[in-house]
Structure 1
């Protein structure tokens, strides 16, 4: 990934926008909906606005900077939104993440004592249809703050109706049974060691070896498990990557500025998921990188190359 800078500007336009419906973000708690409105700008192009709160219980402002993972959650919420409003996908269909790549300019994370408005310019390509409905696509988003480009992302995902999903997932498609079989959350590593203030927000558990952990899955977490699901959410795996990468680069203070993620299989709730992190070669700009992988049933189910920069600016 190349470093982003804040030179490129666009004119910000707010007319003819439609308010975002909470259900179209697949969030149960309205306070967790980051998207505010959207408008179509082409057959496969959209502009979506979002707000980043001045404070958040999980994606906390630290060192005077917004949590970079807010970008990941903002883009994640656009996947169901664009599927529903842009391609007519009915509620109840399932979205399957294949990959997710993003990077941002850290100076754009500087937070004032108020919420921050961001704007995503979205283009959907490689749209494939099945029986007249969109079944998969590549969604690319450019993020702007005050008209300045600060982030880019791309994510490939599939859309499955409930019947297809249940056939593919088998017994795991039953949310009630999946949660009944869920392992209890393991003890957390010390919160400060992974950049967290509260033990409840730690998603790694000791595994007895350096740079290896068990994924700590707490299905009662109000943010990561906003509503019952039959598997570990993708945002939980991304947070585990962030926490693991920051541990590997300690004691240097670091800020995640990019991720290159591949989702191979679902992370199930009823079996241990093992997280491993190791240093990777620096990128072309000399920024540190850490490769984080997850394995379950001795099979790799997830990998994420995390890019980090130095101490926060604020």
Structure 2
């Protein structure tokens, strides 16, 4: 009797950066892809131990791989599968519709002396069709690090030809009273954030580097029991804007969701970002975030009997662009503090 072992994933080289929509090789985290039987895939992952964005954390989080780095691996996997195995051309533009990440094990995220190699398994569980052609996929994915399950993600993406993308974007911007997009566009007078960068000490948000802070001034709406926070978008950020885009990328919005949740945990419950661990997070992207409009994160505590959860609605001029959620647990027993009775700060 003979047996056939499945081929092993390679961690020797990175996949071509074009296949995961990155400009910098340092922002590519996948090494190989194998289709065992369509629609089942295995993908090699290599995580950097030191990175100016993903490694910029304080407290215990500095000793683990960043959950948003895992999100980026999942995102790159979805695009790699689409190009390699769904025959999506490089003349297509991609849309991130929805994604939910759950951390399975903090221990699996611990940075060790060994290389940050992992294996990501992915299954296409649904296909979106138009005139018999696949224009989107839904994926269920699981990432293992050091042989242990680290995180899972459900994700939906779709794509369209670039000429169609251009028409959709131009029509959408005109409906908002905006001119056609041009490279380097910035918030218009009267539509800009209320505050400049540097409003928060990075340590309050679990960071050390000012440039990695993406939220600004906070205004509390006591009647609605929430916080309203400016979102700051730096188009020159080397990781969040690896290449020019005509809209706010999902990476920026996910970071805004995380930092808004951390700030709400600090302001409302007296919790230090040093002691918080992400258990799960996700977002539904409902419309494009425009680079020349002011973005606001509205944070509301969510019911979570085992930790601290927050809903984060991201809006521009009152219109939602994404609905986010994030849940933490804590390494300490927090001291709950009284909420202000009203006013702004």
Q: TM (normalized to structure 2)?
A: 0.80
1:183-215 deviations in Å (ceiling 9; x for gaps): 578323221111111111100011443732111
Evaluate the alpha carbon distance shift between residue 191 and residue 16 of structure 1 in structure 2; reply closer, same or farther with a 3 A threshold.
closer
For residue 185 of structure 2, what is the aligned residue in structure 1? 180
Are 2:68 and 1:69 equivalent residues in the alignment?
yes
Q: Give the one of 207, 221, 224 matched to 2:240.
A: 224
Greater relative contact order structure (CA < 8 Å, 6+ sep): 1
Gaps of 5+ in 2: 222-226, 333-345
In the alignment, the residues of structure 2 paired with residue 262 and residue 131 of structure 1 have an alpha-carbon distance, to the nearest angstrom, of 26
Evaluate the alpha carbon distance shift between residue 69 and residue 187 of structure 1 in structure 2; reply closer, same or farther with a 3 A threshold.
same
For residue 319 of structure 2, what is the aligned residue in structure 1? 299
For residue 152 of structure 2, what is the aligned residue in structure 1? 152
For residue 238 of structure 1, what is the aligned residue in structure 2? 254
For residue 278 of structure 1, what is the aligned residue in structure 2? 300
Q: Give the conservation status (yes or no) of the 8 Å contact 1:263–1:303.
A: yes
Q: Give the one of 30, 34, 37 matched to 2:29.
A: 34
Q: CA RMSD in A?
A: 2.5
1:80-124 deviations in Å (ceiling 9; x for gaps): 111100111111311111110110122211111453112111001
Aligned residues: 300
Report the secondary structure of 1:151's partner residue. strand
Give the stretch that moved more between structures: 271-280 or 229-238.
271-280
Report the secondary structure of 1:85's partner residue. helix
Q: What's the CA shift for 1:127?
A: 1.0
In the alignment, the residues of structure 1 paired with residue 94 and residue 33 of structure 2 have an alpha-carbon distance, to the nearest angstrom, of 20
Gaps of 5+ in 1: 1-10
Report the secondary structure of 1:177's partner residue. coil
1:239-295 deviations in Å (ceiling 9; x for gaps): 011111111222242021211311111110111011111211115xx1221111111
